């Protein structure tokens, strides 16, 4: 009997802000497994990479990241993500807003936006 290995995936959604970035980690099948915030500085970027790498290691999973690129606030985090070899997807802000209109939440918060990015991100496989 042959066993087929299906690689596990972590899908990371980042809602980019000028001072803080909200992050949601999805398990690749629609569940949010962790949420946190980082500030826009190198110490927090290092924390971000440690958290996602620890989560991926625990699950033997690959990492893909989707983030907004609005107004340049994604830099330099986006460059560091690419430098580490992770797959990075740019989320179009207008499309994210339209997606949130279809599936409205009770309020607009950065953490909700990060979750919606993961949700929208997971639809790319459909």
Q: The domain that contains 62 carries what CATH number?
A: 3.30.420.40
Is 93 a member of any domain?
yes
pLDDT, tens digit (0-9, with 9 covering 90-100), for 45-87: 999 999 999 999 999 999 999 998 766 888 899 999 999 999 9
Please say whether the beta carbons of 52 and 59 come within 8 A.
no
Coil, helix or strand for 14?
strand
Is 2 a member of any domain?
no
Return all residues near 74 (Cβ < 8 A) that are at least 6 apart: 14, 16, 67, 68
Is 99 a member of any domain?
yes
> 23 lies in which domain range?
8-125
Domain count, the chain: 1
Is 1 a member of any domain?
no
Please say whether the beta carbons of 120 and 99 come within 8 A.
yes
**Cα(100)–Cα(104) distance, integer angstroms:** 5
pLDDT, tens digit (0-9, with 9 covering 90-100), for 16-52: 988 899 999 999 887 999 999 999 999 999 999 999 9
């Amino acid at each position: 009997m042959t066993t087929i290995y299906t690689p596990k995936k972590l899908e990371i959604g980042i809602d980019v802000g000028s001072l803080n970035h909200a992050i949601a980690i999805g398990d690749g099948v629609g569940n949010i497994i962790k949420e946190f915030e980082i500030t826009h500085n190198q110490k927090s970027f290092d924390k971000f990479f440690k958290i996602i790498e620890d989560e991926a290691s625990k699950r033997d999973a690959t990492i893909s990241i989707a983030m907004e690129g609005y107004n340049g606030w994604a830099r330099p985090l986006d460059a560091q993500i690419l430098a580490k070899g992770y797959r990075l997807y740019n989320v179009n802000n207008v499309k994210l807003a339209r997606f949130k209109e279809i599936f409205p939440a009770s309020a607009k918060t950065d953490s909700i936006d990060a979750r919606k990015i993961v949700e929208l991100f997971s639809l790319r496989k459909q």
